[in-house]
């Protein structure tokens, strides 16, 4: 994902990066050559007020799980769920929660590796740049630091929130740069699996169009507001007063505000909006002849430690799933192949029988309730019909849950927001 | 090659589509919204109503209806039929006159506008000079006399609208001859009334606002008599014998004046009789007065208004005095106008019926039957006599049920007059409707009305009232209609418009009728569900309510809405008709949002915002209760504070009512300019407000935390393959607002044990639609892709039994897409996205059968869909492909869209106003619209003969003249009809030059 995000031309990539305000921090770190100093890493770990010091073989075979258990043993906290973090060379507090970032942490030890342990249910550990220095002051800004050199880093003291790696996924991309006019931008928002609100509002407005016979005023739809912390704001690709031209490839000209709203909500799981940005300074230049179709200038909160789950445009494999195949045959076209739009179906063998008699008003019906509590009590469904195409989504959901429970059934992970199914 | 073949298939499909689908707005049913003018042609026997929105509607015999719409969006203020012609003139409040004619075309009459005209005064004159206040079509049928605000009378030739300047009667001509001693001679004011002498068409009376009346001779072009009334004039009536003129005045008085001889000795004329009928205290104006002779005995005197201002100023009354009988008919809303129909050939006989147009209904009173009963109207029935809250259409009613409903309805209509409908113009050429269709409307007051919707006339058949089951806020003994003996004025309530509901909880929200068994279920605002059975005898029932707790122990709930209705514990006597069999009350008593009945299984399923349940009305117990509430949904939990709101609303309504009654009924022309300014200012303010706060819409994916996700939107019984593909079982399907479908398998005991063995329900499936849009409909399609038949349909040999061999499919209709799943293993097979593509959302959906208009035996099932944009679509089944779409309702007309119902044969109804249904059709084969013919009356009869006691000399003279001119006139009319456009433009040019 990271590599796919690297733009081919320098200029374009710089612009894209400047706009995206996405961190490439970890990318750079990955590129730093390993310093082979010692065979052993000194580790100083802190849990609440207790410190432990121990050493670890630098190129030992251990993975994250092993290390996690080691930490629990060392601190004598075997039953407690904790989150591990480490301080990297820049003084940033970064998480350790899988093999990749564990190895990264080990390799960056110079030679001391400072580990900070927090209880999961306690105050959440805030990862981010400068977080070790700033933690006491309390930071919670979600601003993203522009990428680039250390100079920009020192100039811009605004710290950067770094999510836990399981949250890492592509959330947005600029697509079709090569076929759109320079002044337009097509942005794909991947709402899928992200619990951030899309977070924007639209309004009616007047758009100026240059016509052969002069400038003409036509009604248009504009972004009126971005919600702080919402997906739209986080991507940095949409701004207030950007004019909305298309929604998932459909021209919105002549459509009412309510119609555009409904179209966007209907496509909210995979929203592609073509906008004419109010600020035309950050436009992506179209690439030359060597343009590849698909994602050009993909921007996301890419993390080096992210799992291999890819959420790029639908893979050919998923397109071959029987539903869409039959659908496209039936419709005689193949305009949309959104595999995200798959419903959750619980078949009868997973539903507890309804205790129907005697039926009274105070009937004990908790077998039938949808509350999360009763779901646990319910026998796990044997057949959850999930077509192949959302295999990826299920993986993602698993990944989305607590890593320690990653192996639990998909049923459980799907209950995340209190209802049976949230795909 | 492949493409070629495909192209061929497509064009074939296009052809089939043309044979199946066709969009027509066929006609309007009900009572026109905001009527503003009434006209009647005794010769054509046609009634015309103009509305504030510029519509003009003509009605004759039942089934004879015409409608026209003025291009200008201006109110129709006057409607006048032209004598001896199938034509009429309308006056709009933008001061334009319009000529309409009924022209025969292919054996049917059409209402066409053939000309328009606006009076133009001399340059520099104020607009009031030509602002028309009174219109008189002269009995010759050639002239139109236009009285204006400036006091002039313009004479215009019709139908071409040619101004006859030399014959105009200017104010100066009249004012010069006004007697010196007349108190108001300096300012006679506008022309309030114009009347022709019934026996001498050369004489007209001009009534001026100040009170003066002048009898003018059209031939001699001079005033022959002055009637010096001093009270502000309201109306003038010239009696049939031509001897008297009656004038009514703004102080509630009327006067009778003797008309002098032709020689015009002015001094003899005196006010013969003056009376303030409801006198002593100040009275309101008498806005119209009519006196009609009877062959033997005293005449009928009728007048509107004149009530004592302080005590009865808010009543809308017409007083009828005949001999010793004196009744003040007390109407339900403001009186627009009235007229009297006379018996006999040429309407020369006795007064037979009084026709009164009030703002909310048309009332016809039989003047020849003792007690003056009301004649039931076959059309123009006020659908909104209590506000319509829901409607339900049932096609192809079996004759047996039809007759029983009619019989029950007849027993309710005994108070109506036995006389036939007196307005009989035109011929209804429409063939008999192919089937019997019922439209059921639920009302705010807890009534359900049954309408015969088979043909052109939406005729009331039967009215069911559910309020008898409950204790309501008002005491039933407190009868508003009770009149106390010896009351003065002698009021009598007439009309059925009654928008004030005793208890808003009684409102009917959902209706389901099984046409085969006669079982009816209705559900209301306070969570009440009634199952009723048709009984031909009156019977006493004690209704026992079963309370269903839909929360099922859900914690943290606080219902803040209205309470349950109190059920009467004592036995209640129910008249023949639908009588309650079972009553279920939901707890919390939230409004019922989904309802269905399966008469074969004897089950009723209902849902609210909290959950759904199935009730067995044979064993009278609950089969299944399911709470669908999302625990975080506070809004659904608390319920609306509807009770408080409704009190506020009713207060507001009553204030409005009082205010409206105080506003003077007339004088619209005086303050037109002020009104316009006012409206403009308001509009500007509104626009400014809109610009200040732009409307924003939040773009957010739906989540399970949204409000009312648990609201049950649809319930559906189906006998299908739910668990395995070899055994079909009864099942219940429920769809929620949050895009979730629940399916339950029902186990029914065999028929012989149906009464004692319990029925069980077992959860079978749950489908959560990814896009979470509300589910509007669920349909199971059989092996042939046809929708499953209705319960008992097969048993009655009325439908082919469904194909149980092929695999069934489940069609789930959400607001955003149509999705077909396989059964019994639910997996998505096909879908059609609507919202994602064009931004419209499904509001209503219904399965219908479309027959081809080319081949009798070809037809298809299709899904009729109405979107929030007001478009209707037909979606094919089972392929879910868009077939056709048409724009049907304005997208801003939210209540129209919400009120839409589809029939099973490709038609639909929606409310275009609180009182009118528009009927439309998407089918080429099923289209109900008026087909009628009106023939212009023979013009051989002189105009005077339709009033008796004609002045023989003059009439004979005119007879001769008319007869000779007859053919000529007809020709001329024909010519001008053809050349109306030209004439119209000529007129304009001429007017502009003038």
For residue A207, being part of any structural domain is answered with: yes
Written as tens digits, the pLDDT of chain A (423 aa) is 333 433 444 444 444 444 444 444 444 444 444 444 557 888 888 888 888 888 888 776 678 888 888 888 888 888 788 888 888 777 778 888 788 888 888 887 777 888 888 887 655 555 655 555 544 444 333 333 344 434 334 444 455 566 555 556 677 888 888 888 888 999 998 876 667 788 899 999 988 888 888 888 889 999 998 988 888 888 888 999 999 999 999 999 889 999 999 999 998 888 999 999 988 777 655 554 443 333 334 443 333 333 333 333 333 333 333 333 333 333 333 334 444 457 888 876 555 554 444 434 433 333 333 434 333 334 434 444 444 433 333 333 333 334 334 333 333 333 333 333 333
Among B628, B697, B871, pick the best mutation site for testing chain A contact (most A Cβ within 10 A).
B697
Q: How far apart are CA B795 and CA B797, in angstroms?
A: 5
Q: What is the mean pLDDT of chain B?
A: 84
For residue A209, being part of any structural domain is answered with: yes
Give the nearest chain A residue to B587 (CA atoms).
A361
Question: For the segment B309-323, what is each residue's pLDDT rounded down to a tens digit?
Answer: 988 889 999 999 998
The enclosing H or E element of B921 equals: strand B916-923
Show residues of chain B in contact with A197, CB under 8 Å: 700-701
The pLDDT of residue B693: 58
The domain boundary, picked from A224, A251, A276, lies at: A276
The pLDDT of residue A194: 66
Q: How far apart are CA B348 and CA B84, in angstroms?
A: 15
For range B418-440, the mean pLDDT: 90
For residue A234, being part of any structural domain is answered with: yes
The pLDDT of residue B269: 52
What is the signed CA dihedral for B173, B174, B179, B182, rounded to 10 degrees?
Answer: -130
Which among A203, A267, A352 has the least Cβ separation from residue B695?
Answer: A203
Check CB contact under 8 Å for A368 and B763: yes
Check CB contact under 8 Å for A259 and B626: no
Between A191-195, B72-76, B328-332, B642-646, the lowest mean confidence (pLDDT) is in: B642-646
The pLDDT of residue B174: 84
Helix, strand, coil percentages in chain B from 3-state DSSP, rounded to 5:
15, 40, 45
Check CB contact under 8 Å for A340 and B891: no
Question: For the segment B42-70, what is each residue's pLDDT rounded down to a tens digit?
Answer: 888 999 999 999 999 999 999 899 999 99
Check CB contact under 8 Å for A348 and B764: yes
The pLDDT of residue B740: 93
Same domain, A197 and A266: yes
Place of tokens 């399970």: B704
Residues comprising chain B, all counted = 994
Check CB contact under 8 Å for B702 and A198: no
For residue A423, being part of any structural domain is answered with: no
Check CB contact under 8 Å for B547 and A387: no
Q: How far apart are CA B191 and CA A141, in angstroms?
A: 78
For residue A50, being part of any structural domain is answered with: yes
The pLDDT of residue B654: 58
Reply yes or no on whether the pLDDT at B711 is more than 60. yes
The pLDDT of residue A289: 41
Reply yes or no on whether the pLDDT at B729 is more than 70. yes
Structure-model confidence comparison of residues A302 and B397, the more confident one? B397
How close does chain A come to B616, measured CA to CA in Å? 11
Question: For the segment B913-948, what is each residue's pLDDT rounded down to a tens digit?
Answer: 999 999 999 999 888 888 889 887 765 544 444 444
The domain boundary, picked from A207, A241, A276, lies at: A276
Same domain, A177 and A269: yes
Specify the CATH number for the domain of residue A185: 2.30.42.10
Among A356, A364, A366, pick the best mutation site for testing chain B contact (most B Cβ within 10 A).
A356
Instruction: Indicate the number of domains in chain A.
Output: 2
Check CB contact under 8 Å for A345 and B767: yes
Share of chain B above pLDDT 90, in %: 49
Q: How far apart are CA A154 and CA A286, in angstroms?
A: 32
Beta-carbon contacts of A233 under 8 Å, excluding residues fewer than 6 positions away, are A199, A200, A226, A227
Share of chain B above pLDDT 70, in %: 85
For residue A47, being part of any structural domain is answered with: yes
For residue A388, being part of any structural domain is answered with: no
Check CB contact under 8 Å for B839 and A198: no
Which among A202, A266, A345 has the least Cβ separation from residue B771?
Answer: A266
Check CB contact under 8 Å for B699 and A343: no
How close does chain B come to A360, measured CA to CA in Å? 8
Reply yes or no on whether the pLDDT at B652 is more than 50. yes
Which among A224, A354, A369 has the least Cβ separation from residue B627?
Answer: A369
The pLDDT of residue B833: 93
Specify the CATH number for the domain of residue A55: 3.10.20.90
Is B964 strand, coil or helix?
helix
The confidence band for B511, taking pLDDT boundaries of 50, 70 and 90, is very high
The pLDDT of residue A209: 82
Same domain, A181 and A251: yes
Give the nearest chain A residue to B817 (CA atoms).
A266
Buried b (16+ CB within 10 A) or exposed e, A16-27: bbebbbbbbbbb
The confidence band for B863, taking pLDDT boundaries of 50, 70 and 90, is very high
Check CB contact under 8 Å for B836 and A248: yes
A44: alpha, beta or left, given left = phi > 0 and alpha = psi -120 to 50? Answer: beta
Domain range for residue A179?
172-276
Structure tokens at A127: 């990862």
The pLDDT of residue A360: 40
Which among B694, B745, B835 has the least Cβ separation from residue A266?
Answer: B835
Q: How far apart are CA A92 and CA A31, in angstroms?
A: 17
Beta-carbon contacts of B456 under 8 Å, excluding residues fewer than 6 positions away, are B27, B62, B63, B65, B379, B428, B430, B928, B929, B930
The domain boundary, picked from A276, A295, A320, lies at: A276
Check CB contact under 8 Å for A423 and B770: yes
Task: Phi first, then psi: give them for residue A361, nearest 5 degrees.
Answer: -75, -30
Structure-model confidence comparison of residues B968 and B987, the more confident one? B968
The pLDDT of residue A380: 39
Give the nearest chain A residue to B820 (CA atoms).
A327
The pLDDT of residue B464: 94
Show residues of chain A in contact with B723, CB under 8 Å: 348
Check CB contact under 8 Å for B765 and A419: no
The pLDDT of residue A131: 53
Question: For the segment B355-376, what is each residue's pLDDT rounded down to a tens digit?
Answer: 999 999 999 999 999 889 999 9
Decide if A378 contacts A420 (C-beta within 8 A).
Answer: no
Q: Edge to edge, what strands does the sheet with B447-452 contain?
A: B388-394, B438-443, B447-452, B459-465
Give the nearest chain B residue to A419 (CA atoms).
B704
The pLDDT of residue A96: 84
Structure tokens at A405: 């429970």
Show residues of chain A in contact with B773, CB under 8 Å: 266
Give the nearest chain B residue to A254 (CA atoms).
B838
How close does chain A come to B699, measured CA to CA in Å? 6
Check CB contact under 8 Å for B771 and A269: yes
Decide if A44 contacts A73 (C-beta within 8 A).
Answer: no
Decide if A351 contacts B791 (C-beta within 8 A).
Answer: no
The pLDDT of residue B60: 92
The confidence band for B446, taking pLDDT boundaries of 50, 70 and 90, is very high
How close does chain A come to B630, measured CA to CA in Å? 8
How close does chain B come to A196, measured CA to CA in Å? 10
For residue A83, being part of any structural domain is answered with: yes
Check CB contact under 8 Å for B625 and A371: no
Check CB contact under 8 Å for A347 and B761: no
CB atoms within 10 A of CB B838: 19
Beta-carbon contacts of A14 under 8 Å, excluding residues fewer than 6 positions away, are none
Check CB contact under 8 Å for B699 and A202: yes
The pLDDT of residue A100: 80
ipTM of the complex in this document = 0.78
Give the nearest chain A residue to B696 (CA atoms).
A203
């Amino acid at each position: 994902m990271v590599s796919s995000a690297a733009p081919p031309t320098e200029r374009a990539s710089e612009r894209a990066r400047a706009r995206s305000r996405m961190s490439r921090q970890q990318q750079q770190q990955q590129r730093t050559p390993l310093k082979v100093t010692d065979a052993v890493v000194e580790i100083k770990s802190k849990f609440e007020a207790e410190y432990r010091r121990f050493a670890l073989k630098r190129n030992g075979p251990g993975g994250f799980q092993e290390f996690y258990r080691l930490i629990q043993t060392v601190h004598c906290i075997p039953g407690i769920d904790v989150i591990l973090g480490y301080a990297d060379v820049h003084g940033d507090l970064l998480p350790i929660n899988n093999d990749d970032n564990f190895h990264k942490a080990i390799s960056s030890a110079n030679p001391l590796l400072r580990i900070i342990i927090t209880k999961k249910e306690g105050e959440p550990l805030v990862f981010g740049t400068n977080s070790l220095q700033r933690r006491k002051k309390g930071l919670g800004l979600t601003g993203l630091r522009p990428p680039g050199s250390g100079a920009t880093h020192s100039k811009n003291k605004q710290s950067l929130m770094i999510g836990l790696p399981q949250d890492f996924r592509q959330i947005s991309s600029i697509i079709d740069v090569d076929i759109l006019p320079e002044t337009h931008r097509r942005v794909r928002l991947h709402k899928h699996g992200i619990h951030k609100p899309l977070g924007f509002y639209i309004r009616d407005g007047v758009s100026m169009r240059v016509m052969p016979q002069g400038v003409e005023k036509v009604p248009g739809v504009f972004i009126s507001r971005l919600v702080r912390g919402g997906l739209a704001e986080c991507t940095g690709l949409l701004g207030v007063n950007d004019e909305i031209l298309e929604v998932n490839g459909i021209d919105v000209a002549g459509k009412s505000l309510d119609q555009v709203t409904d179209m966007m909500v209907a496509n909210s799981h995979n929203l592609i909006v073509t906008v004419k940005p109010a600020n035309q300074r950050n436009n992506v230049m179209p690439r030359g002849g060597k343009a590849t179709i698909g994602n050009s200038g993909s921007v996301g909160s890419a993390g080096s430690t992210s799992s291999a789950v890819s959420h790029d445009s639908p893979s050919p494999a998923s397109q071959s799933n029987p539903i869409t195949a039959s659908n496209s045959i039936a419709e005689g076209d193949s305009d949309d192949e959104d595999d995200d739009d798959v419903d959750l179906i619980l078949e009868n063998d997973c539903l507890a029988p309804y205790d129907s008699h005697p039926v009274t008003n105070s009937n004990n019906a908790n077998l039938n309730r949808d509350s999360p509590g009763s779901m646990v009590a319910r026998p796990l469904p044997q057949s959850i019909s999930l077509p192949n195409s959302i295999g990826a989504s299920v993986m993602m959901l698993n990944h989305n849950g607590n890593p320690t429970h990653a192996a639990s059934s998909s049923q459980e992970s799907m209950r995340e927001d209190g209802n049976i199914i949230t795909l | 090659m492949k493409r070629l073949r495909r192209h061929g298939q497509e064009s074939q499909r296009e052809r089939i589509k043309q044979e199946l689908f066709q969009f027509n707005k066929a006609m309007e049913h009900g009572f026109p919204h905001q009527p503003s003018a009434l006209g009647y042609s005794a010769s054509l026997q046609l009634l015309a109503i103009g509305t504030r929105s510029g519509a003009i509607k003509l009605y004759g015999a039942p089934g004879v209806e015409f409608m026209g719409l003025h291009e200008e969006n201006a109110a129709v203020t006057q409607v006048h039929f032209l004598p001896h012609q199938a034509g009429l003139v309308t006056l709009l409040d933008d001061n334009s006159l319009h000529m309409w004619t009924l022209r025969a075309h292919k054996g049917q009459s059409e209402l066409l506008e053939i000309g328009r005209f606006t009076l133009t005064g001399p340059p520099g004159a104020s607009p009031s000079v030509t602002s028309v206040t009174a219109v008189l079509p002269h009995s010759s049928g050639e002239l139109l006399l236009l009285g204006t605000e400036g006091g002039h009378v313009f004479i215009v030739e019709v139908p071409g609208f040619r101004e006859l300047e030399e014959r105009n009667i200017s104010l100066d001509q009249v004012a010069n001859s006004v007697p010196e001693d007349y108190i108001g001679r300096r300012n006679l004011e506008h022309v309030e009334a114009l009347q022709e002498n019934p026996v001498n068409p050369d004489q007209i009376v001009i009534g001026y606002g100040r009170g003066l009346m002048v009898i003018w001779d059209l031939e001699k072009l001079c005033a022959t008599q002055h009637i010096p009334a001093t009270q502000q004039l309201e109306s003038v009536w010239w009696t049939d014998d031509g001897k008297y003129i009656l004038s009514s005045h703004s102080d509630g008085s009327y006067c009778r004046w003797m008309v002098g001889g032709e020689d015009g000795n002015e001094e003899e004329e005196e006010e013969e009789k003056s009376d303030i009928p409801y006198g002593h205290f100040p009275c309101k104006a008498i806005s119209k007065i009519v006196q009609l002779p009877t062959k033997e005995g005293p005449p009928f005197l009728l007048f509107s208004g004149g009530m004592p201002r302080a005590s009865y100023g808010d009543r809308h009354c017409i007083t009828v005095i005949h001999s010793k009988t004196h009744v003040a008919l007390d109407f339900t809303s403001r009186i627009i106008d009235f007229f009297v129909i006379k018996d006999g050939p040429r309407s020369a006989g006795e007064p037979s019926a009084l026709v009164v147009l009030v703002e909310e209904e048309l009332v016809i009173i039989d003047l020849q039957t003792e007690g003056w009963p009301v004649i039931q109207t076959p059309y123009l029935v006020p659908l909104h006599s209590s506000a319509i809250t829901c409607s339900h259409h049932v096609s192809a009613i079996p004759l047996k049920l039809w007759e029983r409903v009619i019989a029950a309805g007849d027993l309710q209509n005994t108070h109506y007059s036995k006389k036939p409908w007196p307005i009989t113009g035109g011929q209804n050429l429409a063939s008999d409707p192919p089937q019997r269709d019922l439209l059921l409307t639920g009302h705010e007051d807890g009534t359900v009305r049954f309408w015969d919707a088979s043909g052109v006339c939406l005729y009331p058949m039967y009215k069911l009232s559910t309020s008898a089951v409950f204790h309501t806020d008002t005491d039933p003994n407190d009868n508003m209609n009770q009149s106390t003996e010896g009351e003065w004025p002698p009021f009598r309530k007439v009309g059925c418009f009654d928008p004030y509901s005793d208890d808003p909880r009684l409102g009917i929200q959902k209706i389901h009728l099984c046409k085969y068994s006669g079982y009816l279920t209705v559900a209301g605002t306070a969570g009440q569900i009634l199952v009723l059975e048709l009984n031909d005898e009156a019977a006493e029932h004690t209704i026992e309510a079963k309370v269903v707790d839909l929360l099922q122990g859900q914690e943290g709930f606080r219902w803040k809405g209205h309470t349950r209705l109190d059920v009467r514990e004592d036995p209640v006597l129910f008249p023949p008709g639908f009588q309650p069999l079972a009553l279920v009350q939901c707890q919390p008593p939230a409004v019922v949002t989904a309802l269905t009945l399966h008469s074969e299984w004897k089950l009723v399923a209902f849902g609210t915002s909290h959950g759904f349940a199935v009730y067995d009305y044979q064993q009278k117990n609950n089969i299944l209760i399911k709470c669908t509430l999302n625990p975080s949904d506070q809004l659904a939990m608390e319920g609306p504070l509807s009770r408080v709101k409704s009190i506020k609303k009713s207060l507001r309504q009553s204030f409005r009512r009082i205010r409206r009654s105080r506003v003077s009924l007339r004088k619209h022309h005086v303050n037109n300019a002020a009104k316009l300014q006012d409206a403009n200012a308001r509009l500007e303010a509104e626009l400014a407000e809109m610009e200040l706060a732009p409307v924003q819409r939040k773009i957010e994916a739906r989540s399970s935390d949204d409000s009312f996700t648990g609201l049950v939107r649809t319930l559906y019984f189906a006998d299908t393959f739910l668990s395995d593909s070899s055994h079909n079982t009864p099942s219940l399907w429920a769809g929620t607002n949050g895009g979730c479908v629940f399916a339950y398998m029902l186990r029914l005991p065999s028929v012989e044990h149906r009464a004692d063995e319990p029925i069980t329900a077992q959860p079978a499936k749950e489908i959560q639609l990814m896009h979470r849009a509300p589910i509007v409909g669920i349909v199971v399609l059989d092996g042939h892709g046809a929708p499953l038949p209705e319960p008992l349909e097969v048993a009655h040999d009325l439908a082919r039994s469904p194909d149980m061999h092929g695999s069934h499919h489940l069609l789930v209709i959400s607001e955003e897409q149509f999705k077909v799943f396989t059964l019994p293993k639910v997996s998505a097979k096909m879908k059609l996205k609507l919202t994602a593509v064009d931004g419209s959302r499904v509001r209503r959906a219904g399965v219908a059968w479309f027959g081809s208009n080319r081949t009798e035996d070809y037809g298809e099932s299709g899904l009729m869909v109405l979107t929030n944009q007001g478009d209707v679509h037909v979606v094919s089944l089972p392929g879910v492909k868009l077939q056709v779409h048409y724009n049907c309702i304005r997208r801003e007309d939210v209540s129209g869209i919400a009120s839409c119902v589809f029939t099973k044969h490709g038609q639909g109804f929606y409310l275009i106003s609180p009182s009118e249904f528009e009927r439309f059709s998407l089918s080429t084969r099923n289209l109900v619209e008026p087909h009628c013919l009106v023939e212009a009356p023979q013009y051989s009869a002189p105009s005077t003969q339709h009033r008796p006691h004609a002045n023989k000399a003059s009439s004979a003279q005119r007879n001769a003249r008319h007869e000779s001119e007859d053919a000529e006139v007809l020709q001329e009319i024909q010519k001008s009809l053809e050349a109306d456009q030209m004439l119209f433009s000529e007129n304009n040019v001429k007017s502009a030059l003038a």
